[in-house]
Amino acid sequence: MDGLVEFRTGDGAVVTVEAVEEERSGSRLVSRGDGTVQATRTFEGALDGVRSAAESALRVFRDGSLKPDGVEIEFGVKLSAETGAFIAKGTAEGHLVVRLTWSPAGPETSPAS
């Protein structure tokens, strides 16, 4: 069953999210009386892996031969108290949407003679 997890930001603010419960054997996190679990890392720390994945994906599409004017990458992200953030499964595969855009070329100008 999914529950609530509180993450602290770097500046001390609290972000409460609905999180997935990991199916692991062994130890389990203990929740407060209201069912909320304290995360083991900051909110920013939880998102580090997703940020790295986005940076890598952007490099792949920007540095390749396609040379798009714009790259939009959408990740489905789930948050867990222990693991942090991870790319969510949309159907049978991981959830990732990539949009590449190109602007139409302007009219060519001939050099003045």
Per-residue model confidence as pLDDT tens digits over 65-113: 888 999 998 888 887 777 777 777 655 556 678 899 999 875 655 555 5
With a cut of 90, say whether residue 2 has pLDDT above it.
no
Q: Is the pTM of this model over 0.85?
A: no
Q: Tell me, what's the pLDDT at 35? A: 65
Give the residue from 75, 88, 87, 82 showing the smallest Cα distance to 5: 82
Position with higher pLDDT, 71 vs 64: 71
Give whole-number Cα distances, 92 to 73, 76, 88, 96, in Å.
19, 13, 10, 12
* Confidence at 29, pLDDT banded by 50, 70, 90: very low
Q: Give the tens place of pLDDT for each residue, 14-28.
A: 888 877 665 554 444
- pLDDT value of residue 5: 83
Please give the pLDDT value at position 102. Answer: 93
H or E stretch at 3:
strand 3-8
